[in-house]
């Protein structure tokens, strides 16, 4: 392990919706640059956990550290700042703002973070070129294929150089070829030290991660070792 | 694959750059052209209705006051406390005209009279006026004005002319009750009978009156300095109370009344117009605010997914509130500009085609910059205020629920 603090440490996170316990004392740690998959049956609490880890939702109990900083009790604006600078998200679908082009979608978080539009667009162009999407830079979301839109979403998620990338079934709606390209984009994103937690139902996706976790009835468990070697 | 992420930017801004908010607000409106168009139309219709409506009411009030005061009995009336006539009227008029704010003081003399033409007779109040004065208690609708020293010319009210079936140039017989003493009313010696020629017709307020040269009437009354009243015309009708105070100070022996005290009907009419204007203005504001709020709210509901994504990207509640509020501001500005153009075109049309034109009483819209500014400002403010609730709702969206598709 390096001297850098863990990208994420979650300790005993609990989330209830009314009387229903959705996340039950979930604990996990992700090191910088590490890729981790989280699998589990539908409704087991994966997305809820992901949202708590991404500070989109607050746990009822437990402690959360991101990059060595305790973020459990941050104010709303501090959490927003954290998302802007330290986290990236890729959701299953409808990731893009339909009124913007691919280039503008990618550039937006950087423009918001730095206030420099030209720099943000230049960075967006560089990312789109790296992801093979330069020709689609001026296309709006509804014109892009699902696979292209997901790769644009990955580019957008990493434009501010986040510590942690959270992906919620990023290949769930894609054919195998498009899924392969999205996975390649995610892996490339992690090549600069960004950690990745990917929620998936797809064993192929999980197999490409360095570590695999299972979620069962709201609890996080390590997948049995015979499930396969890390894919990276 | 090469390293995909160029070095992350170093400097970070916690405060949203206006450019980012403007960009998102503009693009958000472009995304829903129908609702954007409807919202702009709602604002434009509000402005397009409200400005001509205010201008028409202002024009109506101005015409009412012009007809009743400038072409009527002046802003301040000075009358004798006792008796029918005041003496040395010309001298008093000259003194009263020196009151600051008074543009003219004219003596008028009245007497009961009747006129006979084509076998019909009609009674009315006859007024002797100064032909050379700028202000007269009538507005000529046809024919020619009286001239100084005219002894056989009369201006007849259009209603009387209609009853008698006479017109400009016709001859009539004027009977003036020269004696003011009631006991002489039935005495034929109290009447003067004069053959007159109708020089012109006068309308609206003066439609049931008739006018002759004052020099003629006072000569017949036997006192060439007499007047029933001296009418003061001010620069502004609103100055009447202060002018009345000054006139009272100058002529304490006379009864001095401003039009506001002297004409309850006119005062009430003017106030009614102002009240109607205020009510119409308020309704116009509500008629803009309600649909704009509803459409912006629907727009916000339709864009919850985008709001969730923006939140995930690190846009704060303040960012979202500002962005959605800017949308309302854009809508308001676009609607005000569009509605302003429509309003100005409508006002120009109504100037050429008045909504009311009867016996010389013509209501033409009067466009006042204060009305335009007040209306545009209020509707713009209403649009922004109407947008603040949807903007607040956008800022309060729970991103986790939205992104999971629960809401």
- How far apart are alpha carbons B57 and B284 in whole angstroms? 14
The pLDDT of residue B190 is 66
Residue B22 at interface with chain A, using a CB cutoff of 8 Å: no
Q: Indicate yes or no: CB of A80 within 8 angstroms of CB of B315.
A: yes
Average pLDDT, chain B: 88
Average pLDDT, chain A: 88
Whether the pLDDT of residue A7 is over 80: the answer is yes
Residue B404 at interface with chain A, using a CB cutoff of 8 Å: yes
Domain ranges of chain B: 18-66+268-403, 83-90+104-223
How large is the average pLDDT for residues B247-275? 92
- Would you state the structure tokens that stand for residue A136, as one six-digit string? 């689609």
Sign, CA dihedral A37-A38-A41-A42, equals negative
Q: Work out whether strand B102-117 and strand B229-234 pair parallel, antiparallel, or are unpaired.
A: antiparallel
B31 to chain A, closest Cα gap in Å: 5
Q: Closest Cα to residue A47, out of A200, A154, A184? A: A200
Contact between B104 and B233 (Cβ < 8 Å): yes
CA dist B322 → A22, A56, B25, B390 (Å) = 34, 20, 9, 11
Residue in chain A lying closest to B6 (CA): A123
Q: Indicate yes or no: CB of B19 within 8 angstroms of CB of A117.
A: yes
Best A16, A20, A45, A80 member to test B by mutation, with max B CBs in 10 Å, is A80
Among candidates B20, B28, B31 on the partner chain, residue whose Cβ is nearest the Cβ of A111 = B20
B1 to chain A, closest Cα gap in Å: 7
- Write out the E strands in A35-77: 35-40, 61-66, 69-70
Contact between B349 and B358 (Cβ < 8 Å): no
Coil, helix or strand at residue A165: strand
Give residue for tokens 């500002």: B322
Q: Indicate yes or no: CB of B20 within 8 angstroms of CB of A112.
A: yes
- How far apart are alpha carbons B243 and B237 in whole angstroms? 10
Show residues of chain B in contact with A184, CB under 8 Å: 1
Show residues of chain A in contact with B13, CB under 8 Å: 112-115
- Would you state the structure tokens that stand for residue A84, as one six-digit string? 């802007």
Among candidates A80, A158, A189 on the partner chain, residue whose Cβ is nearest the Cβ of B314 = A80
Helix B264-302 and helix B33-65, axial crossing angle in degrees, nearest 10: 170
Confidence of residue B396 (pLDDT cuts 50, 70, 90): confident
Whether the pLDDT of residue B2 is over 60: the answer is no
- How far apart are alpha carbons A36 and A9 in whole angstroms? 13
- Within 10 Å of residue A31's Cβ, how many Cβ atoms? 17
Q: Closest Cα to residue B42, out of B290, B299, B210? A: B290
Residues 6+ apart with CB under 8 A from B316: A76, A77, A80, A81, B16
Query: Looking at domain A8-227, what is its CATH homologous superfamily?
Result: P-loop containing nucleotide triphosphate hydrolases (3.40.50.300)
- Would you state the structure tokens that stand for residue B318, as one six-digit string? 């303040």
How large is the average pLDDT for residues B193-198? 94
Q: Indicate yes or no: CB of A97 within 8 angstroms of CB of B310.
A: yes
Among candidates A56, A100, A123 on the partner chain, residue whose Cβ is nearest the Cβ of B312 = A56
Whether the pLDDT of residue A101 is over 60: the answer is yes
Start-to-end CA distance of chain A, whole Å, equals 17
Whether the pLDDT of residue B186 is over 60: the answer is no
Give residue for tokens 């503008």: A104
How large is the average pLDDT for residues A8-21? 93
B20 to chain A, closest Cα gap in Å: 7
Q: Closest Cα to residue A188, out of B202, B258, B2, B355? A: B2
- How far apart are alpha carbons B49 and B60 in whole angstroms? 16
Whether the pLDDT of residue B157 is over 90: the answer is yes
Contact between B255 and B247 (Cβ < 8 Å): no
pLDDT digits (tens, 9 = 90+) for A160-207: 999 999 999 888 878 888 888 888 888 888 888 899 999 998 888 899
- How far apart are alpha carbons B298 and B294 in whole angstroms? 6
Confidence of residue B179 (pLDDT cuts 50, 70, 90): low
pLDDT digits (tens, 9 = 90+) for B19-40: 999 999 999 888 888 989 999 9
- How far apart are alpha carbons A207 and A46 in whole angstroms? 18
Residues 6+ apart with CB under 8 A from B382: B285, B288, B289, B292, B332
pLDDT digits (tens, 9 = 90+) for B329-384: 999 999 999 999 999 999 999 999 999 888 778 999 999 999 899 989 998 998 88
What ipTM, to 2 d.p.?
0.89
- Would you state the structure tokens that stand for residue A119, as one six-digit string? 């720099």
Beta bridge mates, A222: A213
B308 to chain A, closest Cα gap in Å: 9
The pLDDT of residue A189 is 82
Give residue for tokens 């009614």: B272
DSSP string, B354-393: -SEEETTEEE-----HHHHHHHHHHHHHHHHHHHHHHHHH
Domain ranges of chain A: 8-227
pLDDT digits (tens, 9 = 90+) for A60-70: 999 999 988 89
Contact between A196 and A208 (Cβ < 8 Å): no
Q: Indicate yes or no: CB of A194 within 8 angstroms of CB of B30.
A: no
B383 to chain A, closest Cα gap in Å: 23
Residue B319 at interface with chain A, using a CB cutoff of 8 Å: yes
Q: Indicate yes or no: CB of B17 within 8 angstroms of CB of A115.
A: yes
- How far apart are alpha carbons A151 and A185 in whole angstroms? 7
Among candidates A97, A119, A131 on the partner chain, residue whose Cβ is nearest the Cβ of B9 = A119
- How far apart are alpha carbons A134 and B341 in whole angstroms? 44
Q: Indicate yes or no: CB of A192 within 8 angstroms of CB of B14.
A: no
Contact between A88 and A158 (Cβ < 8 Å): yes
Whether the pLDDT of residue A227 is over 50: the answer is no
- How far apart are alpha carbons B127 and B146 in whole angstroms? 12
Q: Closest Cα to residue A50, out of A106, A7, A91? A: A91
- Would you state the structure tokens that stand for residue B394, as one six-digit string? 């956008």
Residue B302 at interface with chain A, using a CB cutoff of 8 Å: no
Contact between B200 and B140 (Cβ < 8 Å): yes
Show residues of chain A in contact with B304, CB under 8 Å: none
């Amino acid at each position: 392990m390096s001297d850098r603090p863990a990208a994420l440490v979650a300790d005993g996170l609990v989330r209830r919706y009314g009387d229903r316990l959705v996340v039950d004392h979930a604990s996990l740690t992700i090191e910088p640059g590490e890729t981790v998959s989280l699998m589990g049956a539908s409704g087991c609490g994966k997305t809820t956990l992901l949202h708590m880890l991404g500070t989109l939702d607050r746990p009822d109990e437990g402690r959360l550290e991101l990059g060595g900083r305790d973020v459990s009790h941050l104010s709303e604006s501090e959490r927003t700042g954290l998302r802007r600078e330290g986290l990236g998200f890729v959701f299953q679908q409808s990731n893009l703002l339909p009124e913007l082009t691919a280039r503008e979608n990618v550039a937006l978080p950087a423009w918001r973070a730095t206030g420099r539009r030209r720099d943000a667009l230049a960075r967006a162009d560089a990312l789109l070129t790296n992801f093979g999407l330069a020709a689609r830079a001026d296309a709006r979301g509804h014109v892009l294929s699902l696979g292209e839109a997901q790769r644009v979403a990955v580019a957008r998620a990493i434009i501010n150089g986040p510590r942690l990338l959270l992906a919620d079934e990023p290949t769930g709606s894609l054919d195998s070829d498009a899924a392969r390209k999205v996975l390649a984009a995610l892996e490339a994103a992690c090549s600069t030290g960004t950690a990745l937690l990917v929620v998936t139902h797809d064993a192929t996706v999980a197999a490409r991660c360095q570590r695999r976790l299972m979620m069962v009835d709201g609890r996080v468990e390590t997948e049995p070792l015979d499930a396969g070697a890390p894919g990276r | 694959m090469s390293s995909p992420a160029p070095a992350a930017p170093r400097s970070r801004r916690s405060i949203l750059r206006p450019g980012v908010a403007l960009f998102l607000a503009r693009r958000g409106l472009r995304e829903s052209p129908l609702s954007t168009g409807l919202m702009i139309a709602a604002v434009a219709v509000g402005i397009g209705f409200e400005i001509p409506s205010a201008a028409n009411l202002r024009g109506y009030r101005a015409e009412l006051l012009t007809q009743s005061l400038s072409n009527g009995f002046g802003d301040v009336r000075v009358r004798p406390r006792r008796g029918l006539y005041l003496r040395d009227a010309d001298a008093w008029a000259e003194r009263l005209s020196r009151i600051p704010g008074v543009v003219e003081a004219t003596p008028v003399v009245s007497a009961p009279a009747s006129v006979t033409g084509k076998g019909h007779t009609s009674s009315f109040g006859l007024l002797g006026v100064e032909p050379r004065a700028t202000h007269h208690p009538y507005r000529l609708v046809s024919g020619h004005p009286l001239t100084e020293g005219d002894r056989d010319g009369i201006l007849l009210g259009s209603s009387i002319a209609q009853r008698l079936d006479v017109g400009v140039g016709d001859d009539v017989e004027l009977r003036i009750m020269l004696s003011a003493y009631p006991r002489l009313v039935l005495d034929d010696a109290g009447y003067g009978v004069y053959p007159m020629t109708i020089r012109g017709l006068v309308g609206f307020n003066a439609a049931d009156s008739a006018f002759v040269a004052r020099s003629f009437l006072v000569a017949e009354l036997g006192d060439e300095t007499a007047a029933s009243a001296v009418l003061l015309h001010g620069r502004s009708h609103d100055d009447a109370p202060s002018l009345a105070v000054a006139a009272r100070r100058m002529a304490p022996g006379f009864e001095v009344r401003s039009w506001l005290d002297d004409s309850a009907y006119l005062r009430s009419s003017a106030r009614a117009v102002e009240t109607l204007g205020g009510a119409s203005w308020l309704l116009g504001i509500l008629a803009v605010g309600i649909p704009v709020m509803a459409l912006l709210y629907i727009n916000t509901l339709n864009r919850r997914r985008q709001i969730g994504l923006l939140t995930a990207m690190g846009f704060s509640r303040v960012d979202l509130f500002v962005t959605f509020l800017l949308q309302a501001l854009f809508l308001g500005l676009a609607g005000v500009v569009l509605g302003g153009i429509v309003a100005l075109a409508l006002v120009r049309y109504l100037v050429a085609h008045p909504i009311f034109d009867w016996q010389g009483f013509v209501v033409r819209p009067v466009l006042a910059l204060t009305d335009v500014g007040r209306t545009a400002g209020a509707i713009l403010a209403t649009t922004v205020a109407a947008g603040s609730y949807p903007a607040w709702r956008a800022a309060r969206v729970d991103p986790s629920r939205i992104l999971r598709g629960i809401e």
